[in-house]
Amino acid sequence: MGSDDNHIEPANRAEAAIAMLSPLPFAAYPLPGIGGTIKATPGHFVVEEILPYAACGEGEHVYVTFRRAGWNTADAARIMQKHLGLAPSDVGWGGRKDKIAVVVQTLSFRCGVNHSLADVEKTLADLPFEILSIDRHRNKIKTGHVAANRFSVVVTNPEPDALPRALAVADRLKQTGVPNFYGPQRFGYGLQNIHRGFALFSAGKRARKDTFMVSVVQSALFNIWLKQRMQAGDYRRLLSGDIVKKTDTGGMFAVEDVAIEDPRFTTGEIVYTGPIYGFKMKPAMGAAGEKEAVLFRRFGLTPEDFKQYRSPGSRRVAILSLMDLTLAEVDDGLRLTFTLPSGAYATTVLREFTRPS
C-alpha cells in the first residue's frame, strides 16, 4: 500500500472498496460483545435531534418539532409539505433520520408571515405525527444544521452477562473513543450504493447531479482510510502533518510537532481528522498526508474529479467521544443512552457492543 503499484482499475473500484471495507475493526477488541438485537421494535431506538439554535419567534419560516415512528424524514416532510400547500423547496431539515425508530425532529416550512401558527397546527393535526412545538424563524433549516443527536437504544436478547460485558466495553470506549465510521445504512442494502457511487466516476460517464452518491464514495474512502490507520496501530496516536480539530472551538490546524500536541490529544483537547476527498479539501501534511494521498491515487481519483459534482470535500473527525454514555438493564434487555455530534452514526457505537459479523 506504500506505492501505486497496486493501482485499481476504474471498473474494479467498487468491488475493491467493498473488499477493503469488510470487516471494519473494533476499538474495544478483544473485549467480548453482548450480542442481541437492535431495533426489535421502533420504540427500542429513540433519537432526539438537537438544533444549534432555537427559533427566534419571527420570520417567514415555521419550525415544526414533532415525534414520529415508521416514517423516514423525506416522506414525513413530503406529506406535511403537501398538506400545507407548499413546494418541496419550501421545506428544510438538518439531517435524515431512521425509519425504524421513534424520532423527534424539527422541520422548517416557508409558510410566509401571514400564515398563522394556529392554522399550521390545525392543518397538520390529522397526520400520524405528534406535534410538540411550532414557532417562527428567519431562516430555513439546511442540511447539517444539527448540533447533536441524543439516542436511547434498547438491545434485546443480549448475552446473560450483558451488563458486566457492556460496562467493560463502555469503560474501554471512554478511554479510546469510538472510530467515527460511516454506518452501513450509508451504503445501501448489499452495499449497492458503492457501485452506484463509483459508477459516476467512470471514464466517459456524463456527469449528473447526484450529491448523495458522490458522498457515498467519499464515505467509503474515509472508512477505508480509518480502517487502515487502525490496522497500522496509529488510531490512538498523532502523526506528523495530521489536521486536528480543537474540541472546544472547532478550530483546525496541522500538527508540526507531535511531542508538543500529543498531550492535548490524550486529554481530548484536540482530535485528528480524516479526508472527505473533494476539490477543495485541505490535505494533511507529512506522514499523515502521504497516507491520504496514496489511498486517493490507488483509486485513480484526483481532486478535479469532484469539481463536476461541485463537491468541495472537507475533514471529518476520526474519533467520537462518549463521555455521557450510560447503561441500564430494562425488561427487554439493555438500554444505552448517549449523544453524538451531527453526522455521526449510532450504529458505529452500537456495533462495539453487539459485535455483528
- In the block, residue with C-alpha cell 451504503: 187
Q: From the candidates 4, 5, 90, 98, which is the catalytic residue?
A: 98
Number of other residues whose CB lies within 10 A of the CB of residue 290: 15
Q: Does the annotation count 98 as an active-site position?
A: yes
Q: Name the 3-class secondary structure at 100.
A: coil
Rounded Cα–Cα distance for residues 316 and 182 (Å): 10
Give the pairing type, strands 45-50 and 102-110. parallel
Residue 187 · residue 216 · CB < 8 Å: yes
Which runs of consecutive H residues, i.e. helices, occur in the chain? 13-21, 73-83, 117-124, 162-176, 192-199, 211-231, 258-266, 286-298, 346-354
Instruction: Check residue 237 and report its DSSP letter.
Output: S
Rounded Cα–Cα distance for residues 332 and 142 (Å): 37
Report the catalytic residues. Answer: 98
